[in-house]
Amino acid sequence: MADNGLSRTAPTVAALVPDLLFAARIRGAAAGARTAQTVDRLVELVGPETRLVLVDLQAPGATEAIRLLREREDPPRIVAYGPHVDGAALRAARQAGADRVMARGAFVKELATIVREFA
């Protein structure tokens, strides 16, 4: 489920993730994480308290989201993930400024570690 916008403070972990079931998995790994299904909503969620942003490269505008967040004065850490067969999207995420780019399978396995390491 996408974030309901009730809390006015930025989350420590935010994610751009169009898949509602996967969004629930992220919220389970990172207590208080807030998810967005669109780039505009993600940009609204991310504030100075946000330390980690997770970006599903299959979300429309994912590379744009990385660029927008990277342009901030004090950008959060950005971890992008996508299908291992989509080399173009993985390269585009690196070029846009993601701190770490991973295949989706590796991301799933390392999600809890990533949250502990970066958030």
pLDDT in tens, the chain (119 residues): 444 443 445 569 999 999 999 999 999 999 889 999 999 999 999 999 999 999 999 999 999 999 999 999 999 999 999 999 999 999 999 999 999 999 999 999 999 999 998 87
Would 5 be classed as within a structural domain? Answer: no
Would 4 be classed as within a structural domain? Answer: no
- What is the count of structural domains for the chain? 1
What local confidence, expressed as pLDDT, does residue 2 receive? 45
Would 114 be classed as within a structural domain? Answer: yes
Would 65 be classed as within a structural domain? Answer: yes
Would 59 be classed as within a structural domain? Answer: yes
Range(s) of the domain holding residue 98: 13-118
What local confidence, expressed as pLDDT, does residue 118 receive? 80
What local confidence, expressed as pLDDT, does residue 69 receive? 97
Give CA–CA dist 10/72, Å, rounded. Answer: 15
Give CA–CA dist 52/117, Å, rounded. Answer: 10
Would 46 be classed as within a structural domain? Answer: yes
Predicted TM-score (pTM) of the model is 0.89
Would 6 be classed as within a structural domain? Answer: no
CATH number at residue 97: 3.40.50.2300
